Amino acid sequence: MADHAKTAAGVLAGVGGESNVQSLVHCATRLRFVLKDEGKADAAAIRATPGVITTAQAGGQYQVVIGNDVPDVYAAIQSQTTLGGDAEKGESGAKGNLFNRFITMISSIFTPILWALAGTGLLKAFVAAAVTFGWLDATSTTYTILNALSDALINFLPLALAITAARYFKASEFTSFAIAGALVYPTITALNGQPDITFFGIPVTMVSYVSSVIPVIIIVWLQSYAERFLLKVLPGAVRRFLTPMIVVLVAVPLVFLVIGPISSLVGGGLAAGIGWVFETLPWLGGAIMGGLWQVFVIFGLHWGLVPLFQLEYQTTGQILLLGPVFAAVLAQAAAVAGVLVRTRNKNLRSLAAPATLSGFLAGITEPAIYGINLPLKRPFAFGVVGGALGGALIAMGGVFSKAFVVPSGLALPALLGNGNMIMLGIGLLVAIVVPFVLVVVFGFTDPVDAAAPATPAATTDTVVLSPVDGTVVPLTEVPDAAFADGSLGKGVAIRPTSGAVYAPFDGTVVAAFPTGHAVGLRGADGVELLIHVGLDTVKLGGAHFTLKVQSGTEVKAGDLLVEFDGDAIEKAGYDLITPVIVTNGDLYPDIADAASGPLSHGETLFRAVSVDSLTPAR
């Protein structure tokens, strides 16, 4: 069974300790750290930690790939530190340019709902397929129920994003929920497109916030500042209920009066410009729609194009602008299909599979974009390229739709027979093949590209010398359950009589804790050892310890590793007992010939028994 506590301790040490962590969240496979100084992180030590697959640096985050056990390791880190919790503020510590910081924010906000998006998107694809092939009657109540099940999360996406954004920006989750709820409230949604809407006499341009992303993120970000200000200035007796009342009262009208009109203005300008381009240079219009449609969706600007679709349909009975959007959608689906083929990360593949199906079949690209393509950057860019090329070809063929449909593979019948079908076929083929091939050929920063260094196979037992002067006691006498029950590894403990730690064998320092309270070593034969000076001494923050080595240092038996002031540590209230344990129990599952009583450093402490020694010869 995986030892999540040991993994958590190793990862935390490898990133430079709790004091070097600005924020910590986790996704389906990775611990996502924002570090104060990434230079303090030791990738080799982290990758050598049992339970860690690899590390990666992307979007201003230092990512530790764990796999399916990541929630358990995250919980273990929470139990050992003050990190994590419901509201880690990630944006303040984000590193890199604005684009990287934007990706970090979007990734953190969307990560908790990705699997639900993928699952419901896949269900929507199946429902749409059932209708297309005549297996399900779209007028039946069965369809109504299944459609609601599959469409609810996308429809009410602002509600979900309100919660995750509130956690990211450290705002009140339920106040955020109230704000988002007002944006998609049925009577408010019904006002979309209606004239003469006012708020206390102020004209309101009402737009649809259904399935929107950016407006709710912006308003929750502003909410976080407003709440901190109000909680500081309002009297204690009333601040708890007046703060959400004031925030909601200001935030929602702010969206309706400012964010909505700006979105409508920008979207309307884009619509008018794209419409003009389609009339004069169809190929350019198709390239813009095919290449940038998903970018418009990210910022919520695509809503400005929907009225243009409707106007074109009312005027001509066809929608010319919609054809290239099929290329945009299928290109992103093809890009994530390329990720599915290219990645060696099982968990990333498990997310890419349903994202590919829901993208191709139902046109639901949120899981693909927010969970995979955008965080990986290259796949999203390749999708834009494929969409632009395919969209240009489709527009050149004069392809149009006779109905307003959600662009997807299952909705392709809306285009059949409308325009040049050869150009449609070529355009869709290009939109799919180009990003797929680009992703497969040129790749991306895969979490498993940099594989963890292989630990040498255990072939012989290893003699471990005492790293300190002192008295040997059984590990069971350590007043810490994690050490005493052997869950962190087999070994012994020593009560030091001097203030120095020496190398117990020839090998490499794989984890030099910045606080100096612990050192991890790997011997030439592959044994891995942790020397932990005192209990809970990490809380000293390095006080009374002097680290003499760093991660990666090659050492010989007897080399000085750490100096410490034992008297000062004990006066500070800490038990100085020092566990010395073998941490790679898969290769060295037991110890033998353990010493007892007083001994000096350099004398034999115990023998680490290799798994080969325990395997009967055949």
CA distance linking residue 518 with residue 509, whole number of Å: 11
| CA dihedral for 188, 192, 197, 198, sign (positive or negative) | positive
Contact 502, 602 (CB under 8 A): yes
4, 26, 27, 601: which one is catalytic?
27
Q: What is the largest CA-CA distance in the chain?
A: 95
Where residue 206 falls (left for φ over 0; alpha for ψ -120 to 50; beta otherwise) is beta
User: Residue by residue, what is the 3-state secondary structure of 118-167?
Assistant: HHHHHHHHHHHHHHHCCCCCCCCHHHHHHHHHHHHHHHCHHHHHHHHHHH
26, 532, 544, 601: which one is catalytic?
532
What does the block give as tokens for 163?
A: 């919660």
For the chain, state the CA radius of gyration: 30
Q: Is residue 532 among the annotated active site residues?
A: yes
Contact 319, 400 (CB under 8 A): yes
DSSP string, 163-219: HHHHHHHT--HHHHHHHHHHHT-HHHHTTTT-SS-EETTEE------TT--HHHHHH
579 phi and psi angles, rounded to 5 deg: -70, 140
Contact 323, 415 (CB under 8 A): yes
Report the length, in residues, of the chain. Answer: 618
Number of neighbouring beta carbons within 10 Å of residue 377: 16
Give the residue numbers marked as catalytic.
27, 532
